Amino acid sequence: MREFDYVVIGSGIAGLTFALKAAGKGSVALITKRGRADSNTAWAQGGVACVTSEEDSFDLHIRDTVTAGAGLCHEDAVREIITQGPDRISELLQLGMHFDRRETMNGESELDLGREGGHSKRRVLHFQDSTGMEIERTLLDQIAGHPGIELMENHMAVDFITTGKLGYAMENSCVGVYVLNEESGEVETLRSDVNVLATGGCGKVYLYTTNPDVATGDGVAMAWRAGGLIANMEFIQFHPTCLFHPEVKSFLISEVVRGEGGYLLDARGRRFMEKHNSQKELAPRDVVARAIDAEMKRSGSKCVFLDITHKPADFVKSRFPNIYETCLKHGIDITKQPIPVVPAAHYQCGGVKTDLNGETSLRGLFAIGEVACTGLHGANRLASNSLLEGLVVAHNAFEKSSRNRPPRVAFDLPEWRPGHVSDVDEMVVISHNWEEIRRLMWDYVGIVRTDKRLQRAATRLRNLHTEVQEFYWNFKITTDLLELRNLVTVASLVVDCALNRKESRGLHFTLDYPDRDDAKFLRDTTMRRT
């Protein structure tokens, strides 16, 4: 057993921010299941929404967020996160973060603010179209060689250790975590009174996603198994514009392309968004994704097109260098050709239920970033609010977990007991189940749902859960097996939450209940393992 003051699981913006702050107070174990830069943060293109312009205001940003959230935003969370934004951005700049700037009429330099769907003002700070990667670089530069942080790459968290599981007659608390060392194949025991989930989202539960391969919902599944409260998992945001190309998977075409004037076109080259919403291409993501889905189903086409060719070529190349180069590499010159796009799973608005300090229902367990449900996003996330949330709630979680900490209670945690297990003899079974989960979620629990489709998904997931549990108890654990176990758990939570919401709201749209029902469902959907 190894002891730390803080155990942080995940190396995106939230996990790295917390680890850096906590390292000044005690020892930190920073766990990441792949390399240090493998996170949803590193894939974020758009930027960070924050009020920095005199033409903008906190009240406007709050209004835009609440409007996008379709009635389910917690306004205290919205106000706290948005008003803290400038201070957290200032800290990031002090660490060496570079945001794009532009020259003003009088020759001075100011932040070059972008605009995205649902925003009434330009307020998105960005670094070209690779903002997340630049944030990741900035924070990792600070982490590198830090004496207070032990970075554990290629380590995957398996399960939390709780006093309830250990049989203590006390409030159920999280006191440690089992972690698989992927290189040795051994499971290590880490002891801490402060355990922080920063594992990101669950995009890989769907067949098509903009997320990296690490986004398998690990944190939500772990918190669920430990007895934590889970909320609003029915609200999965589908990004409207993922590149449609046979040789490319998961490449996002940033919302900023529409924010800078890009048009959505149908298969015949006609704009169609005005038929669906008065904001046209700048409507919130749930509206745009459903509009694209409807157009594709109406015409039978495999994609729609995003056209930015009416803008100067030099502007397009300088504003979207990563998108331009990636598309060009695959035969699409976006200065001359529209980009084929389709919706894809992008962001989970629900997650482990927390307060504004990242505290969960389980003592000793914090959740920050996309894995958490703070109430900021409601039923639909406003573009570029996620990175802001990661910064703010990581800061709050550090402040709360480090303030007046009592002496560490001694717990002699048991070592991992694998039992009589063997190596997985048929990896094809794991890969088949993985693909089946992702396909049924895409077919039955996608942008448009029905009770019949959801029930079909629930039935098959129950069977898959039984199969996966059999693998888990009879074979030596691997990363693939652990991810499969987490995927089936998170998929079931999404389906169960969706079945419990008998209305359409935000990202959850069902043909059986097409209208919003504030009388019955103006509340979070919460679930806890029984």
Residue 409 Cα distances to 163, 191, 365, 370, 402, angstroms: 12, 10, 15, 30, 15
| Residue 69, phi then psi, degrees to nearest 5 | -75, 0
User: Residue 358: enclosing H or E segment and its boundaries?
Assistant: none
**How much is the pLDDT for 498?**
98
256 and 47 in contact (C-beta within 8 Å)? Answer: yes
Per the CB < 8 A criterion, the answer to whether 189 and 2 are in contact is yes
Indicate if the alpha-carbon torsion angle 367, 371, 373, 374 is positive or negative: positive
* pTM summary value: 0.92
Pairwise CA distance, residues 439 & 64, whole Å: 34
Taking the C-alpha atoms of residue 34 and residue 479, their distance in angstroms, rounded to an integer, is 10
Residues of the chain with CATH 3.90.700.10: 241-345
Within the chain, which residue ranges are assigned CATH 3.50.50.60? 1-6+17-97+109-177+209-235+349-410
The confidence score (pLDDT) of residue 297 equals 87
For residue 237, give the 3-state DSSP assignment: strand
Lookup: tokens for 197: 């989930």
CB 387 within 8 A of CB 41: yes
Alpha carbon separation from 179 to 8, 156, 161, 316, 335 (Å, rounded):
12, 5, 11, 45, 48
End-to-end Cα distance, the chain: 29
The kind and range of the H/E element at 352 are strand 351-353
User: Thinking of the domain 241-345, which architecture would CATH place it in?
Assistant: Alpha-Beta Complex (3.90)
Q: What is the pLDDT of residues 463-508, one digit of tens each?
A: 999 999 988 888 889 999 999 999 999 999 999 999 999 999 999 9
Per-residue model confidence as pLDDT tens for the chain (530 residues): 999 999 999 999 999 999 999 999 999 999 999 988 888 888 888 899 999 999 999 999 999 999 999 999 999 999 999 999 999 999 999 999 999 998 888 888 889 999 888 899 999 999 988 899 999 999 999 999 899 999 999 999 999 999 999 888 788 899 999 999 999 999 999 999 999 999 999 999 998 899 989 999 999 999 999 999 999 999 999 999 999 998 887 899 988 899 899 999 999 999 999 999 999 999 888 889 999 999 998 899 999 999 999 999 999 999 999 999 999 999 999 999 999 999 999 999 999 999 999 999 999 999 999 999 999 999 999 999 999 999 999 999 999 999 877 677 777 899 998 776 777 666 788 889 999 999 999 999 999 999 999 999 999 999 999 999 988 888 889 999 999 999 999 999 999 999 999 999 999 999 999 999 999 999 999 999 97
Rounded Cα–Cα distance for residues 321 and 309 (Å): 15
Correct CATH for 1-6+17-97+109-177+209-235+349-410 of 3.40.47.10, 3.40.50.2300, 2.60.120.10, 3.50.50.60: 3.50.50.60
Structure tokens at 479: 């990363």
DSSP track, 370-433: GGEE-SSSTTSPPTTHHHHHHHHHHHHHHHHHHTTPPPPPP--PPPP---S-B--S-HHHHHHH
Residue 471 in contact with residue 424, Cβ under 8 Å? yes
3-class secondary-structure state, position 449 = strand
Predicted local distance difference test score (pLDDT) of residue 36 = 87
Q: What positions carry a catalytic annotation?
A: 285
Select from 145, 177, 184 the least CA-distant residue to 161. Answer: 177
Domain with CATH 1.20.58.100 in the chain: 427-527
With CA atoms as reference, report the closest residue to 191 among 479, 477, 402, 408.
Answer: 408
Nearest to 327 by CA among 298, 305, 345, 350: 305
Phi and psi, residue 351, nearest 5°: 150, -150
Domain 427-527 has CATH 1.10.1660.10: no
Residue 530: how many CA atoms within 13 Å on its side-chain side? 2
Contacts of 199 (CB under 8 A, 6+ apart): 9, 10, 157, 218, 219, 222, 369, 371
Q: How many C-beta neighbours within 10 Å does residue 68 have?
A: 25
